Structure 1
Amino acid sequence: MGVRHISTTLPTAAARARSVLATAWSCAVTTEIGRDELVGAHSVGADGTVLLVPPRDSALATAMICAPRGEPSTLLELADVSPVPVRDRIRARLWLSGSLVPDGERFVFAPTCAVLHDATGERIGIGLDELALTAPDPLAEAEARLLTHLADAHEDAVEQLTRLVRADSLYGVVRVRPLAIDRYGLTLRLERARSQADVRLPFDEPVEDVSQVTERMHILLTKARHVRRPLLRPATPES
């Protein structure tokens, strides 16, 4: 039997950005007038176009009235937040700068710059054409459900998966939680008493839709069961 190639591919910055746009429920909007934290006030089109419907008493609504030509300089900030409770739940931040154009009762955001701020501190610029042409990760909409189910109902499976992590990376670990999942793999958060680290477990092949996740996870667990070493049994840290 031939050895199957294990993909080590990561989602592109554009795919991560589109996933954040597709799943973020809130966004911060800053103009010359002030800053608003808007909840449920934005939507995203298939090409990544952001539409905003701010409350009438918001700083953004005021800015639209006061700005010349009704197109104020605007900064949108969206956070990629882990659906599973962990330390430092924000996995990345997406910053979009540009202007707003009135369109009836709503405003169309016209970006001029897109930057993804990774949790590692790296800032990645994203081309606007690439952002418009890239689709969100196929698991983006289902990620919260997949991860919370794995964390809440399959703690034993998460424990099994630690066999795929290098033994020296597990030194001092007190808790392991699923942090992220995308078409290319699963990321675990390794929490220690005063620090944490993330480790990625790649799928053998990328998934095309959520229906393939169970098979990919089964393959990872089968590999883990064939690793001959004791399971990590981290103690839950005290509150």
Structure 2
Amino acid sequence: MSDRLPIPGPGERARTIAARGPATLLPPLPTLPPVAGECQSDRVAPLLHHVHADGSATVLLPDDQVAPEPGTTMVEIVDLAPVPLREPVRGLLWITGRLAPVSLDEARELAVELVEERPDPRLLDLGHGATMLRLTPLSMVVADADGTHPVTPEAFAAADEDPFCHQEAGWLRHLELSHTDVIHTLRRHLPDRLRGGHLRPLGLDRFGLRLRVEAIEGDHDVRLAFERPIATLDELSGELQRLVGCPFLALQGGR
């Protein structure tokens, strides 16, 4: 029996990063994903991006940044920690594929769908200085502290984003700013060698709470596993009560 703590699968991690991270476009490397922090002078930040359930991506670019011909491009989506850390990047999702402009009529139909899912005033620029393009995926790779894994379109489509995907940032910032006592209490779950470092909330998913220990000799990430996967605020509150050992803890005011 494995002693490895349960974690979200690659498809779920990819869906979660795709749902919330900022994106850039860049030329792909021939065989390997780019190295985090590597200088890319020809990166382009789209005005707006959206990754669909089939792994395709829609991007909105200023007209003067649209290539005249379709080409192979990589979309890099970054998962950033919601609190200020020395090393803020928690994960990366790379989608490589063919990028081509979408006809204006089809782009307007897509814009209506996007507005229903995630309203954004930048969509009003469509046809007025901005062009919509679609990336048809050829490959997808997710990389984070749990490893680097290819993700098939089928695995991406079958997965769901984490149930706390869009609330996580507010909750963790609230935990850091307003509940330093809770953070201090969580220190008891750390190995003895890490208890002297600066403890920060790093991440939250349905399987557990992740902490970052910032120490002089370097950073260390620790996962505190929940007793079972959770999906609701009540279940989250109960698991935090168990981890802290306080029956009166309630996570409120996180937004």
Give the TM-score, by structure 2 length.
0.74
In structure 2, C-alpha distance between the alignment counterparts of 1:154 and 1:112, rounded to whole Å: 44
In structure 2, C-alpha distance between the alignment counterparts of 1:40 and 1:154, rounded to whole Å: 36
Instruction: Give the CA deviation at 1:31.
Output: 4.5
Name 1:143's counterpart in structure 2: 168
Change (3 A) 1:178 1:40: farther
Instruction: Give the CA deviation at 1:54.
Output: 0.8
Alignment equivalent of 2:48, drawn from 20, 41, 46: 41
* 1:56 and 2:63 are equivalent in the alignment: yes
* 1:12 and 2:38 are equivalent in the alignment: no
Name 2:110's counterpart in structure 1: none
Name 1:232's counterpart in structure 2: none
Letter in 2 for 1:205: R
- Give the SS at the match of 2:62: coil
Aligned residue pairs total 206
* 1:130 and 2:155 are equivalent in the alignment: yes
* 1:220-235 matches, cutoff 5 A: 220-222=243-245
Deviates more, 1:109-118 or 1:152-161: 109-118
Name 2:242's counterpart in structure 1: 219
Name 2:32's counterpart in structure 1: none
- Give the SS at the match of 2:245: helix
- Provide the alpha-carbon RMSD of the alignment: 2.4
Name 1:108's counterpart in structure 2: 134
Instruction: Give the CA deviation at 1:12.
Output: 0.9
1:135-173 per-residue CA deviation (whole Å, 9 max, x = no partner) reads 111111111011101111111101001111222332x42
* 1:165 and 2:190 are equivalent in the alignment: yes
Change (3 A) 1:149 1:7: farther
Change (3 A) 1:131 1:194: same
- Give the SS at the match of 1:11: coil
Instruction: Give the CA deviation at 1:81.
Output: 0.6
Task: Tell whether the 8 Å contact from 1:94 to 1:115 is kept in structure 2 after alignment.
Answer: yes
Task: Tell whether the 8 Å contact from 2:25 to 2:46 is kept in structure 1 after alignment.
Answer: no
Name 2:19's counterpart in structure 1: 22
Name 2:199's counterpart in structure 1: 176
Task: Tell whether the 8 Å contact from 2:47 to 2:61 is kept in structure 1 after alignment.
Answer: no
Instruction: Give the CA deviation at 1:40.
Output: 4.4
Give the TM-score, by structure 1 length.
0.78
Task: Tell whether the 8 Å contact from 1:7 to 1:206 is kept in structure 2 after alignment.
Answer: no
Change (3 A) 1:109 1:46: same
- Report the identity percentage: 29
Change (3 A) 1:205 1:80: same
In structure 1, C-alpha distance between the alignment counterparts of 2:56 and 2:46, rounded to whole Å: 18
